Amino acid sequence: MRDFDYKKSLGQNFLKDKNVIDKIVGAPDIKENSLVIEIGPGAGALSIELVKKFDKVLLYEIDTRLKDILDDKLKEYNNYEILFDDFLNRDVLKDIEKYDYNNLYIVANLPYYVTTPIIMKVIKEKLPINEMVIMIQKEVADRFNATPGNKEYGQITVLLQYFFEISKVCNVSKNCFIPKPKVDSSVIRMKRRDNLLYLKAFNYFEKLVRDSFRFKRKNIKNNLSDYDLEIINRVLLKYGFDINSRSEELSYEIFVDISNELSDKKM
Ligand code: SAM
């Protein structure tokens, strides 16, 4: 890869540390008849381990310059498919339709510039995944697995924690990549919750959460002044909070409860 012209604009920081690769690939609980999606295989540092561990591997790579490199790296395996396209533009459910699988995973060292769009796509398109193990910017990882009351806790934390149990696998030094990125990284594991809380309307929940965190320093009463504050207060009191509390203090379960109480009225 010495002559490869890495594109910063595509988030091309390739892994070179075998220890980190082993930690990533060792993190998911791989069950029978598995299909794994890797977004951005790059030169295949992770992919070569994925084809060994998973039954089937589907790779999405935006950069066609990597075709020969990937073909060569994976030449001894036949349990993979590479789609040279922008993951964000794909109909992924359609792409995986033809696969026979029982357990679906995403394992990737993500291109950081599209971390949130990728994760939101996975949620919104209801990809039936068991687990995601992803390398992302450390700062973003800290937001994803923050607990209520923590300053990193925010809108994205609540949305993701509704769907996933999130834990950190490890932090990763800048020296583990070529070229060396400017930011620190972490690997996180996002395991789909076995029993999702009943949610009447996801779109309503998403809007409520977004509005709740609109102004960081403001409380619920101010951020949700357009909503039925009486109902919200009634729900909050059950949990020992009220409308003078701040969104950062509230667990995702409380937002689900509020959303369910309110969405009836709006729909
Ligand atoms: N998996 C490799 C590794 O760990 O060495 C490369 C990871 S690198 C951080 C991110 C990869 O994602 C790059 O290969 C880049 O070309 C690819 N990429 C960037 N944007 C993409 C997109 N929208 N869809 C698919 N791949 C993308």
202-266: which CATH number, 3.90.550.10, 3.40.50.1820, 1.10.8.100, 3.30.930.10?
A: 1.10.8.100
For atom 19 of ligand 1, the residue with the nearest CA is 10
Asked if residue 111 has its Cβ within 6 Å of ligand 1, the reply is yes
**Cis link prior to 117 (omega < 30° from 0)?**
no
Ligand 1 center to 38 CA (angstroms): 9
Distance 40 CA to ligand 1 centre (A): 3
How many Å lie between the centroid of ligand 1 and the Cα of residue 50? Answer: 15
Domains in the chain: boundaries? 8-192, 202-266
What CATH number belongs to 8-192?
3.40.50.150
Could you read off the pLDDT of 217-235 as tens digits, one per residue?
A: 889 999 999 999 999 999 9
Give the C-alpha separation, 198 to 201, whole Å.
Answer: 9
Res. 56: pLDDT tops 60: yes
- Residue 12: pLDDT band by 50, 70, 90 thresholds? very high
Average pLDDT over residues 249-263: 97
Query: What Å distances lie between residue 144 and 128, 152, 166, 186, 249, CA to CA?
Result: 20, 8, 7, 11, 15
> Of 105 and 151, which is predicted with more confidence?
105
CB 129 within 8 A of CB 122: yes
Instruction: Kindly report, residue by residue over 33-50, the tens digit of the pLDDT.
Output: 999 999 999 999 999 999
* Distance (Å, whole) CA 249 – CA 149: 5
Ligand 1 closest atom vs CA 10: 19
